[in-house]
Structure 1
Amino acid sequence: DVSKMLLHQGLRSLPVVDIDGRVVGILSRSDVVRLMLKPNETIAVGAQRRLDDYTGDGRWRVTVEEGCVTLAGPFADESERRIAIALSKTVPGTRMVSIAAGE
């Protein structure tokens, strides 16, 4: 499958050819990743659900922009931050997770 070739073999792009073998376009790794990403809202709901299941109290807030999750709210310590990040990374489509400044 073309997407696996691009993502798992380290290829940056592949030519798209017609039936006669003429190049009609280029498929890049970023094209494939963009197609695989879930909408931000779906990622946010998934991350929020995982975090709420862990804390039981909705103490952390989730925002998502272009697959990048940002967590905000009080964290007891560094260990709790790492747990929140790890839980959020399990949501399909998540590209990266960060903690909001000042949290």
Structure 2
Amino acid sequence: MYLTIQEGVKGRQESLDAGEEIEVKYTMGMSIFVSIVGLAGIVLGGDLTVNAAKEIARAFGLSEALIGLTIVALGTSLPELVTSIVAAQKGESDIALGNVVGSNIFNIFLI
């Protein structure tokens, strides 16, 4: 994260030094608001998916172990998948790749 921020600051400074106009889409307050709303949407969407999948699986009589191993795993990975797809659609392939790799490394070593 530190290196990414440093690279962004350096690139912005180089653009300013070259006299390029930097386009600002949102104010700082609006950027924070949109980030919080997006994060809340991802968290709530993942939670809703997991809860609905658990109820459907219970209605079909599936065991708790099967629910835990499959449906809950899917629900916890779904937010990263959606985030990566959106980043890839916006042409931010580095973010999409970093999200997938980082998520898998985190899941393998810490979970």
Which TM-score applies when normalising by structure 2? 0.31
Q: Bigger radius of gyration, 1 or 2?
A: 2
Which TM-score applies when normalising by structure 1? 0.33
Query: RCO (CA 8 Å, sep 6+): is it higher in 1 or 2?
Result: 1
Structure holding more strand per residue: 1
Structure holding more helix per residue: 2
